[in-house]
Amino acid sequence: MLKRSRVQTTFLFNKNLDILTPKGQISSSDEQKMISMIKARFNCDIVETPKDKPSKCDGFLVKKNTVVGLFEDKCRYTTYEQFKRWKSWIITYEKLDKCVWLSNLLCVPFYGFLYIVYSDKILYWKITDDEGNYLFKPIIKKTKTQATINGGEAERENAFLPLEYAKILYE
């Protein structure tokens, strides 16, 4: 009989995910609004990964029962004017790297969707082509940022996706 590794067991029983908190539930509701808009604009179906598990990507874009892309999505509780001053979207490099790897394995592009809630605007980045090659160079550096939607601070390698490569999906 095969034994489950310690890492797999940790992932299977992790019930401390931020999505399960009150702030996480608000974000989840806003993500669903964003998902509806993505489906309409891309004329596709969306298959999401489980929100209560630490999935490598947030979901897949599907057309005619075929996966045509994978994505990471986030909500940011700020205005577009404030976001423009930051000049980039920050996601953890670990998450970016895993999604780029999946893009290569599945032969589909990787997208990043960002809902700027207070301005009711969705931006998106096409990060890779269907071979997992970057379409622009993200800036990678170790920084201190808010750890989760519930606060805290984390120092980690982060990827900065420059605003100049974003397109407006909805405004």
Per-residue pLDDT at 168: 96
Contacts of 42 (CB under 8 A, 6+ apart): 61
Provide the 3-class DSSP secondary structure of residue 64.
coil
Tally Cβ neighbours within 10 Å of residue 28: 15
Per-residue pLDDT at 11: 42
Which pTM was predicted?
0.84
Per-residue pLDDT at 13: 41
- The CA distance from 128 to 110, in Å, is 5
Per-residue pLDDT at 16: 60
**Residue labelled with tokens 């897949």:** 60
Per-residue pLDDT at 77: 93
C-alpha distances in Å from residue 171, one per residue of 43, 93, 116, 128: 17, 28, 10, 24
Tens digit of pLDDT per residue, the chain (171 long)?
A: 434 333 443 444 445 666 667 766 677 888 999 999 999 999 999 999 998 888 999 999 999 999 999 999 999 999 999 999 999 999 999 999 999 999 999 999 999 999 999 999 999 999 999 999 999 999 999 988 776 666 678 788 999 999 999 999 987
Per-residue pLDDT at 7: 40
